[in-house]
Amino acid sequence: MTAPTTAVAPSGALKRRTGLLALAAVLAGTDLAIKAWAERALPGSPVEGGPLGLELAFNSGVAFSFASDAPAWTVVAVTALITTAVAVVLWRTAAASRRLWGVALAAVLGGAAANLIDRAPDGRVTDYLHTGWWPTFNLADVFIVGGGLLLLALSWRENPPGGGTERNSSAQQ
């Protein structure tokens, strides 16, 4: 005789974590789809778009081609470690943090994961957004920088999740 199984509703924390991971996956998927399109559509035919055009480029380094001379496996390993650390922070803080904090971490994670997935096979990242005055970049970079700036702004406003002391209004008087 087998025991009856009952469906257990996921806790609020699990729902929030999986929702933020799903957001990160959607952001990563969006960038990867655009990268695939750019590799097919843009070689030799950039698209002028005013201040922001489309032009295919590849970067074997990280931000601003930093470490472009490093062995590809090193760059992949370091970015994989950083991406994993962001995923762990998101998982650990999602239940107790403000929603915007989780969204910012999901943006950073989605961008980092997209660039890592793109870099893994050949050691380079596909870039396609071109300004003419700034290095060519991709949507994953926008997610990383935007999420990072939002985290910075949120950390100025309040203590980050698990950041230590709670503010005591009576102690401030």
31 assigned to active site:
no
127 assigned to active site:
yes
Question: What gap in Å lies between CA 163 and CA 34, rounded to an integer?
Answer: 37
Question: What gap in Å lies between CA 155 and CA 45, rounded to an integer?
Answer: 42
Q: Please name the residue that has the structure tokens 């489309």.
A: 54
Q: Where are the alpha helices (DSSP H) in the chain?
A: 12-41, 72-93, 99-119, 139-157, 169-172
Residue 32 burial (CB count, 10 A): 19
Question: What gap in Å lies between CA 103 and CA 82, rounded to an integer?
Answer: 18
Active site residues: 127, 141
